[in-house]
Amino acid sequence: MTYRIFDTSEIDERRKAVASELGARAIKVNQFDNQPGQAGKEHDEVASGQEEIYIPVRGTGVLRVDDDEVALEPGRFVLVPPEATRQVVGGDDGLTYVVIGAVVS
């Protein structure tokens, strides 16, 4: 087979390991579902060296990057470097977002 499909609607957990489920070898992709007001883990990616692109697909929220808050809404893409601290918080209607990561070479 030349392609694979993974339907995240069948997974109840907050984090959906999309790339792993698809068997991707070079791409890191996860989908997250935050309930209204739910905050994800505050972290950086210094140890992994991974930069990440945050892509909201449904709902709204904020991405806290170091000392800034960036509004998240569908159609907005946010690149965060490995050394920046980041945390996502779901808005009043919750937030579904995708994170794509890769190691900076």
Q: Above pLDDT 90, what percent of the chain?
A: 87
**Average confidence (pLDDT) over 10-16:** 90
CA–CA distance, 52 with 36 (Å, rounded to integer): 23
Paired tokens of 81: 């470097």
CATH code for the structural domain at 31-103: 2.60.120.10
Quick one: pLDDT at residue 2?
86
Tokens of 56: 């909201």
Q: In the structure encoding, which two tokens stand for residue 63, read together?
A: 């991405």
pLDDT at 1: 66
In this prediction, residues 65-87 reach a mean pLDDT of 97
Mean pLDDT on 54-71: 98
> What's the whole-number average pLDDT of the chain?
95
Where do the H-state alpha helices sit in 6-96?
18-22
